[in-house]
Amino acid sequence: MTPPTDPARTVAVVTLGCARNEVDSEELAGRLAAGGYRLVEDAEGADAVLVNTCGFIESAKKDSVDAILAATDSGARVVAVGCMAERYGSELAGALPEATVLGFDDYTAIGDRLDDVLTGRPLVPHDPRDRRTLLPISPVDRSAVVTAPDAPVIPGHGWLQRRRLASGPSAALKLASGCDRRCAFCAIPAFRGSFVSRPPAEVLGEAQWLAAQGVTELVLVSENSTSYGKDLGDLRQLERLLPQLAAVEGIVRVRVAYLQPAELRPGLLEVIAATGGVAPYFDLSFQHASPTLLRRMRRFGGTDDFLALIERARALAPAAGFRTNVILGFPGETEDDVAELERFLVEGRLDAVGVFGYSDEEGTEAMGLPGKLDQAEIDARVRRITDLVEELTAQRAEDRLGERVEVLLTEDLSTGEGSGVWAGHAAHQDPEADGTTTVSGVPDGAVAGMLVAAEVVDTEGVDLVATALVPAVHA
């Protein structure tokens, strides 16, 4: 008699942080599935739990530790990967003996590493290093190194084994990994490495694969999308790639996230604002608006520059969407700096703003700067700007009353008392972070992932309420 085959080992994947981490998790899931693991949603009863951590700011690191500890309650073996695991390595392993800590260089052999964990084979956690030293300083010299057989792992370059963990019609598509900027508050370049673009053909291939999985909206992500192509010798690469992505069969919308204001070239601005199938959506990393404080942050621009940039985009696409993040309490920030930020927010009329309080991050220039603010003062400034942002973004939503919007349908809200009501998001709304649009009067036969033209008739904070303009429905 043939002995029964051992059932596949099971693994649950928990993801924290940004859309870039979500892509990494799906690539890890693809490698694990190819290695014979069965992916499950619930950690309870799983053989292992893979926690993809975030290491960006103090609150994100706390969330990651909490997620690791929560995973251990399931009784499964816990493996920590991702930015926090890479950034702290052996230090994190010593602080959390409940988990095995793996770095980016383990990604290509993640199935083997999980086998090691489940069979009790000891693994030595890595000592953190500055990953920028793994590649040439000159961007144009990097491509040959990355494609070498023994090259260090660049997270986000293994899409051929990607396995979707989400089921919605929107999906993140990674353009690149790493960052060459030296913002005083940010440690990401040290543990993510230097900027490395993916070849355009590879990005297009993954877009086609995602479309075959039922995705109709692509969200292009990276640490800095405006740098795409510089290491390939062509800074206009994204301007050519966007129309090609929009033309992929099955894709109805492409949006670009993580743009740097100082690098947003006029040609790229025009392509985003005026190309059919590309959302006129500008996710711009302003961080502040005071020119003096921005220089301390090792950044460029200020209120007047940023307002001029926004106006150039609105001249091409009056209904364009704008989102940003701002940091309050950076060392040396004065009341005048905060007032300048308020002026920018009032005049900029942005659709969404993330407000964060400054926290010291190891290995950053800001750690050693004078002029540190008390935490109570930072918290007070965060509350002050958050209250202002909530008021301003609600007003911006009201500005859209009577506007025609293209809504990507995501969820049928119809009940027995009514039909044709769907949730979705318009072109100015990121699918994860910028509010939603509820559309009534959607024709029968609509499915998630369709675009529906609608007129905005009401608002609820930043959320829109709209009525479908029948028969303007696009598959």
Q: Which residues are annotated as a binding site for [4Fe-4S] cluster?
A: 18, 54, 83, 179, 183, 186
The candidate with the shortest Cα–Cα distance to 410, out of 57, 67, 141, 168, is: 168
CB 195 within 8 A of CB 230: yes
CB 394 within 8 A of CB 459: yes
C-alpha 238/C-alpha 231 separation (Å) is 12
**239 Rama class: left (phi>0) / alpha (psi -120 to 50) / beta:** alpha
337 membership: H or E segment, kind and range = helix 335-348
Q: What is the DSSP letter of 318?
A: T
- At 356 the three-state DSSP class reads strand
Tell me if the bond preceding 471 is cis, omega within 30° of 0. yes
What is the number of other CB atoms lying within 10 angstroms of the CB of residue 458?
13
C-alpha 118/C-alpha 126 separation (Å) is 19
Nearest-Å Rg of the Cα atoms of the chain is 23
| C-alpha distances in Å from residue 335, one per residue of 330, 340, 381 | 12, 9, 10
Residues of the chain by 3-state class (helix, strand, coil), percent to 5? 40, 20, 40
- At 72 the three-state DSSP class reads helix
DSSP letter string over 404-444? EEEEEEEEE--BTTB-S-EEEE-TTS-TTTS--EEEE-PPT
C-alpha 111/C-alpha 119 separation (Å) is 12
Q: Which residues are annotated as a binding site?
A: 18, 54, 83, 179, 183, 186
DSSP letter string over 90-119? HHHHHH-TTEEE--GGGGGGHHHHHHHHHH
